[in-house]
Each structure stands twice: as structure tokens, then as C-alpha cells.
Amino acid sequence: MVEFLRIHRVEIATLTLEHVWLVAASMGIAVLIGVPAGILLTRKPRLREPVIGGANIIETIPSLALFGFLLPAPWLGARADRIAITALALYALLPIVRNTYVGITGVDPGVREAARGMGLTSRQMLWQVELPLSMSVILAGIRTATVLSIGIATIAAAIGAGGLGEFIFRGLAMVNDSLILAGAIPAAILALAADLGLGWLEARLRPPRT
Amino acid sequence: MGEPAIAFRGVTYRAQGRVLLGPLDLEVRPWETLVLLGRSGSGKTTALKLINRLLEESEGAVLVNGRPTREWDVITLRRHIGYVIQETGLFPHYSVERNVGLIPRLLGKPEPEIRERVDSMLRLVDLDPQEFRRRYPHQLSGGQRQRVGVARALAGDPEILLMDEPFGALDPLSRAEVQRQFLEVQKRVRKTTVLVTHDVGEALLLANRIALLEGGKLLGIYSLPEFLESSDKTVAAYRAAWSGNLQFPGDDCHGGIP
Ligand SMILES: Nc1ncnc2c1ncn2[C@@H]1O[C@H](COP(=O)(O)OP(=O)(O)O)[C@@H](O)[C@H]1O
Ligand SMILES: [Mg+2]
């Protein structure tokens, strides 16, 4: 095993970086779309059912199938990593949209009423009250999505998008446990690190309770 | 008497087809403290929220400084009116200084002026700025939080102050203390105040006049002597409930009033 690590260390490092890139890029996109979408839902409650419902449906598509569905999408070009990033971002949307919505609607009604009564505009309300007070809940959604993405990203290798899945698929084909572990262990470590790091941030941003 | 500071003119408020308040005609005089007294569900909060347009009347008009609230820019209207609610609605993620400085900051006042304002407001409600400026709401007692809520509402120097059961969540001793303290504040900065309570003792302590609400309707408006002498059955019932609380059975209800 040690010998194996020594020989493959460059490849392990490269694939880990690829993996991190897939997850980071997809999470970036998912946050940029999901948080504003969640905010929009709090302003237009009618959209809630269709949007959350749609995101739920995406979640039920098996990941391998979703990667496959996206292969022919013309605007993604031929680059496998873009397809993988799109698929991962789609999966990440649900927890992020849902937690943004839940976080903001969960803000203490007394605080909200006082803010409105004092004449905060709805934009001031968003930036000074709603976002700060729901940040930890939103981050919890991002954390869930990230941990999920790190796992699902291993499947991206099936469409040639790289990442730690390369080892796993190769190991499966060659019935080689060391190869599978070379993919699985770094992926598990990444997931654990993301979980701990974002969990720490989440706790720090949790507003004090009165 | 001059123009009323606030006037309800034939105001009705409906929700889901049900009349929750009104028709209501009521005038609040400049600089007076009018207490809206009534049991819970009588429409006190509804009436209060119609003044700063957290709710909008279904019929009639609410006038502030002679102008219907519907014609006001709603943000300007609200910044012109201080608002204190039970449990205060202090921002838990803001220090005392940022909570109290909120309105002056929104009004774009320069920082040194805001700092000075915050300190003077804290002193007004008898809190040492040195000690309390940097604390967060969760580091305050209930009574202190309520005082910070009052300081915050007054910081923008509004002409009108609305208070919805402001002291309702406090234990009896803290409540008495904060009520007394609020009387002191009122002596120093006179505002047109509408205060909602279901507590007769509080009404008698803080009011210039008492407006009695029941089932969304105004039963009457009473000065303190009128309230203490009225032969109206409801008023008498309130008086009885109150003197019952004083633990002097049989004592004449005039007894506690200076
Ligand atoms: N959003 C609402 N929808 C329907 N009914 C309401 C709503 N808010 C309050 N009510 C009803 O309106 C009446 C008056 O309520 P409120 O003004 O809060 O009374 P108070 O402050 O005197 O306790 C009550 O019967 C209450 O149940
Ligand atoms: Mg009420």
C-alpha cells in the first residue's frame, strides 16, 4: 500500500485537485443560483411549490443517468468537466434553495416586525436582518450539498470528467482494491474536511439567541 | 385643542371577510399618552399597526399629522414613528450601540453624531453607555432589553411613539421598575404615545386617557377621573379586576391613585 501511494502520488494529487475543482466550481454556481432563488421564493410564495418540486425531481434522477442526459446538451460543448459541473450544481440546488428559504422564513417574526415597523426598506431588511440571521442555516444547506457533491463527483469519471472516480472505476474494472481505495479514501477525507470546515463556519455565524 | 396627532376616521379593518376592527373613530392629541386597553383579541394590536401602516385599513382613513397614512411614503411614515413591541424585536446579531443607532444610521447621520445620540439615548433610559454599548441583547436582562428597545425607538427623534404591550413579558418587579423608568423618560422627552396593554394598572399608571376596546369596537375614551368614576359596566369590571389584584379586598379603587 505504501509502495502504491509512492508510485501514484502525483496521480493521486492531480485527481484530488480535479475533484476539488469539480466540486468547487459546481458549488459556486449552485450558490450563485440557489441563494437568490431561495430569496425569491420568500418574496413570491406561489413559486415555492413548483421550484422546490422541480429541485426535488432533479434529486431523484440517478446521478449516472443525469450525467448521461447532459451529454448531448449543445451549450455544454464537448467538455466532460462542464457536464459534470452542471450535473453537480443541479444536485446541489435543492439543499441550498430549501435552506435559504427555510432560513429566511424562520427569522424571528418579532425581529422582522420591529424592523419593518422602524421603516427598513425590503432591501435593508434582506441585508441587515434576513441574511445575517439565516446565514448559518444557508451554510448548513451548502455543507450538505458540498458533502453530497464530493461523493457524486466520483461518478463524473464515468463520462471522462476526471476526479478521484478515475481510480475507483479503474479499480472496479481491474478488480484492484488498492486502486479503489486510492480513490475512495481521499474522497472520504475531502468530504470529512468540508463537513468539519463548513460546520465550524456555520457554528460561528449562528446568531446569538435572546 | 388644535389638530390631532393621529386620527381614525371611520376606520374598518377586515381580514378574510371578517371585521376585526371598527368602525373606529378616535383622535390622539399631540403629546398625550393614549392607552388602548382591552382584553386579548379586542383589536388593540390591529389598531396600532394601522397607524404605522403595518396593516392597511379596509375602509375609512387613518390620519397622521392630518394626512392620510396612505398618502405618506410608507418608509418616511415609519421613520417618523417609534415602535416598541413586546420582547422588543432587538436585532440579536447587533450590539446595543448598533441597535440604538439603527435609525440615525438609516437616516444617514454622520458617525460622531450617531455615537453621541446612542450614548444620550442610553443615558435617557438609565443605562450606562460605557457598560452597555458593546453588549448584545442576549447579554441583557429582560428589563434592560426593554429599555434598549425604548432607546432605539426614540433615537430617530420621532414625534410619535407606538408601544404594543411593551412591558408584558417582564416579571412584576422588573415591570414596575421599567414602567417607572418610562415615566421619567416621558417627562424628559414628550412624545405623542399610543400604548397597548391589557393591564389596567399599567393603563392607570401611564395614560393621560384610556380608550377601551372590546370585540374590535371602541367602548369609550376616558380621562383617568372619568375611568375611575364611570358607571359603565365594562369599566367597572376592569376596575374590579384591578383592585382585586391589589390584594386589599373591599378597598375603594380610588385608593391606589395619587
Ligand atoms: N392575520 C390575521 N388574520 C385573521 N385574524 C386575525 C389576524 N390577526 C389577528 N386576528 C384576529 O383579530 C382580532 C384582533 O386581534 P389583535 O388586534 O391582535 O388583538 P389584541 O392585540 O387586542 O390582542 C382577534 O380576534 C384575532 O384573532
Ligand atoms: Mg396584541
Mean of pLDDT values over A32-58: 93
Q: Nine-digit cell at A147?
A: 458533502
Q: How confident is the model at residue A59 (pLDDT cuts 50, 70, 90)?
A: confident
Question: Does residue B4 have a cis peptide bond before it, meaning omega lies within 30 degrees of 0?
Answer: no
Model pLDDT for residues A151-172, shown as the tens digit of each residue: 999 998 888 888 999 999 999 9
pLDDT given for residue B86 in this prediction: 85
Q: In 10 A of CB B62, how many CB atoms?
A: 25
- Which of the residues in chain B have pLDDT under 50? 249-258
Site to substitute for ligand 1 among B12, B46, B54, most atoms within 8 A of C-beta: B46
Question: What was the pLDDT predicted at B243?
Answer: 80
pLDDT band at A210 (very low <50, low <70, confident <90, very high): low
pLDDT tens digits, B86-98: 877 899 999 999 9
Q: What cell numbers appear for B84 in the block?
A: 416598541
Could you tell me which of A152, A156, A175, A178 has the C-alpha nearest to residue A166? A156
A120: Cβ contacts below 8 Å, ≥ 6 apart: A128, A129, B106
A175 CB-contact burial (10 Å; exposed 0-12 / middle 13-18 / buried 19+): exposed
Out of B90, B102, B156, the one facing A210 most closely (by C-beta) is B90
pLDDT given at position A77? 64
The verdict on B86 touching A (C-beta cutoff 8 Å) is yes
A210/B54 CB distance under 8 A: no
Mean pLDDT of chain B: 91
Instruction: Please answer whether residues A81 and B67 qualify as being in contact, where contact means their C-beta atoms are separated by less than 8 angstroms.
Output: no
- Mean pLDDT score, A44-58: 90
The protein residue with its alpha carbon nearest to ligand 1, atom 20, reads B41
Given this model, what pLDDT does residue B256 score?
44
Quick one: pLDDT band at residue A6, thresholds 50, 70, 90? confident
Which of B11, B20, B40 for mutating ligand 1's site (highest number of atoms within 8 Å of CB)? B20
Tell me the domain boundaries of chain B: 89-158
| Beta-sheet strand order (sheet of B18-28) | B18-28, B6-15, B59-64, B67-68
Average pLDDT, chain A: 91
Residues on chain A touching B85 (C-beta within 8 angstroms): 110, 113-114, 117
Cell of A61: 434522477
ipTM reported for the complex, 2 dp: 0.87
Give the phi and the psi of residue A52 in degrees, each rounded to 5.
-65, -40
Residue B92: its chain A contacts at CB < 8 A?
108, 111, 133, 207-210
Q: Which of B51, B106, B154 to mutate to test the interface with A (most CBs of A within 10 A)?
A: B106
Distance from Cα A86 to the centre of ligand 2, integer Å:
50
Q: A128 touching B, CB under 8 A?
A: yes
Mean pLDDT (whole number) for A107-134? 95
Distance between CA atoms of A66 and A69, rounded to whole angstroms? 5
**What pLDDT, on the 0 to 100 scale, is given for residue A71?**
81
Decide the pairing of beta strands B192-197 and B217-223. unpaired
Mean per-residue pLDDT, A72-97: 85
Among A58-62, A190-194, B37-41, which is the least confidently predicted range?
A: A58-62
Question: Would an 8 Å CB–CB cutoff place B136 in contact with chain A?
Answer: yes
Residue A76: predicted pLDDT: 66
Q: Is 70 exceeded by the pLDDT of residue A112?
A: yes
Determine, for residues B93 and A114 on separate chains, whether the beta-carbon distance falls below 8 Å: no
